[in-house]
Amino acid sequence: MQTWEHVSLWMDQLNGPLYARPSLDHARDVDVAIIGAGYTGLWTAYYLKRLAPSLDIVVLEAETAGFGASGRNGGWLIGGMLGESRYLQPLSPERRKAAYRLLKAIPDEVEGVLQREGIDCDYRKGGMLNCAARYPEQAERLRRELEALYREGHEESDYQWLDRQALERHVRIEGASGAVFSPHCATIQPAKLIRGLAETVERLGVTIHDRSPVIEWGAGQLRTERAVVRAKWIVPAVEGYAARFEALRRIQIPVQSMIVATEPLPDAVWAEIGLDQGQALSEHSRQVTYAQRSRDGRLVFGARGGYRFKGRLRDDFRLTEDEIGLRRYLMESLFPQLRGVRLSHAWGGNLGMARRFRPHMLCDPRAGLALAGGFGGEGVGATHLAGRTLADLILGRDSELVQQPWVFNGRSLDDLATWEPEPCRWLGYKAILAAFAREDRVLADRHSPAWRRRLASGIAAGLEGLMQ
């Protein structure tokens, strides 16, 4: 039977080998057919079954639950969503505040499900730290962003400036000058969550078929290599794997993110570093770094990315020396005591990015289509919100969830923003990555003159703005 090994640290930590559930080999007529056994698909199945137990739901997975981003991510369960401020800025202060309450509640909502269903995924709500450490411009940017958050209606209890002394109660970082702390984040073991969620929906009566990649879908039916499924509703929950479907190819493009993990570190090293309350850690640069301390005492450290011409998926995530080296360099810049430490794992995954960095949740009743995606690497929490929302949309419930500005109710795929055609997309992404890398090199060099620092940051900021 098919097993999956070395997908990620998280998948390797699961008890025993992963054996495939039976693939679909016969025709089915169902109420809801979900493409993909990742977070979006399984949260949608979960809430549909909770609200309407009689529904016949099938989930078709190309590999196994957790093979995609749900089993490969950095384990940040954030009470928020990429692009939230751009969606909410036009709203009245009252509506904006209500929407932010909904987002900030995500970690607690997930914790409630974990307790109710008996899912152990190493959940720890320790908040998140966005640190200024490697150059002074980071603190200046963080201060400006914090002021912008307050103008949007957030309070100090949501986002708080920590000076170096206050930061050291959370984590000790080389050269740190401060950080912004938010309590609205938990860290988890991602593969334990997705595998536990798969077992939960199966107990509720959902059927999951592994090794059953969907070849095409539309007009109330979808097809695998061996079977046809007719469904009242089709839910493509494919995130970074949208590239496999023509209808979604320019709506959600795959971007790669890569992670390394140390061997378990001695207690004495952790006494120097900290991170003993389940905090999520990032270092404020356009490289997009993210880290956490795993339950078994490893530092898990990731950084964005890559994009392939025409949005091709990356299937081989045996990282190159350069890919590992960048993450090691960033990690050791923050924690010099980790220089030369053995890295036990290195892996990556495909995530889905929506145009203008605006995720979407869509329901087209005429086509029998519901989907969500484009979470841009911040989907561990947002997919839970998406699953709840899609369930309400499919069932026609007029809830607070379906009234949010990221919900396209009664709309079609044509109403979603699309990415530019190639080669514009690839050339733009390459230019942006090069500008980000150059900015980081210039700012990290304390001998760089002020004019060069301003120029590098100005170019990087300008290109970043074009993406939005």
Give domain limits for the chain. Answer: 9-73+190-250+356-415, 124-189+254-353, 424-467
Q: What pLDDT shows up at residue 284? A: 93
Q: CA–CA separation, 430 vs 364, rounded Å?
A: 35
Confidence of residue 2 (pLDDT cuts 50, 70, 90): low
Task: Please state, in angstroms and as integers, the Cα–Cα distance from residue 189 to each residue in 9, 22, 74, 156, 240, following that order.
Answer: 10, 26, 8, 29, 20
The mean pLDDT value of the chain amounts to: 95
Confidence of residue 464 (pLDDT cuts 50, 70, 90): confident
* pLDDT (mean) for 230-254: 97
Q: CA–CA separation, 10 vs 460, rounded Å?
A: 34
Q: CA–CA separation, 280 vs 24, rounded Å?
A: 39
Q: What pLDDT shows up at residue 189? A: 98
Q: CA–CA separation, 446 vs 6, rounded Å?
A: 39
- The third-level CATH classification (topology) of the domain covering 124-189+254-353 is D-Amino Acid Oxidase; Chain A, domain 2 (3.30.9)
* pLDDT (mean) for 93-112: 98
Q: What's the 3-state SS for 121-167? A: CCCECCCEEEEECCCHHHHHHHHHHHHHHHHCCCCCCCCEEEEHHHH
Which residues are CB-contacts of 332 (< 8 A; sequence separation ≥ 6)?
338, 339
Confidence of residue 244 (pLDDT cuts 50, 70, 90): very high
Q: What pLDDT shows up at residue 124? A: 99
Residue 241 has pLDDT above 70, yes or no: yes
CATH superfamily of 9-73+190-250+356-415: FAD/NAD(P)-binding domain (3.50.50.60)
Q: CA–CA separation, 297 vs 112, rounded Å?
A: 26
Confidence of residue 306 (pLDDT cuts 50, 70, 90): confident
Q: CA–CA separation, 99 vs 80, rounded Å?
A: 10
Q: Which of 5-19, 128-142, 145-159 has the lowest mean pLDDT?
A: 5-19
Q: What pLDDT shows up at residue 304? A: 84
**pLDDT tens figures, 190-233:** 999 999 999 999 999 999 999 999 999 988 999 999 999 999 99
Task: Please state, in angstroms and as integers, the Cα–Cα distance from residue 389 to each residue in 135, 335, 411, following that order.
Answer: 41, 40, 15
* pLDDT (mean) for 368-378: 97
Q: What pLDDT shows up at residue 3? A: 61
The residues that bridge with 301 in the sheet, in sequence order, are 260, 291
Spatial CA neighbour of 134 closest among 452, 448, 455, 440: 440
Confidence of residue 1 (pLDDT cuts 50, 70, 90): very low
Q: What pLDDT shows up at residue 287? A: 83
Residue 5 has pLDDT above 90, yes or no: no
Map tokens 């509703």 to a residue: 233
Residue 4 has pLDDT above 80, yes or no: no
Spatial CA neighbour of 128 closest among 80, 185, 173: 185
Q: What pLDDT shows up at residue 18? A: 78
| pTM score | 0.96
* pLDDT (mean) for 309-320: 93
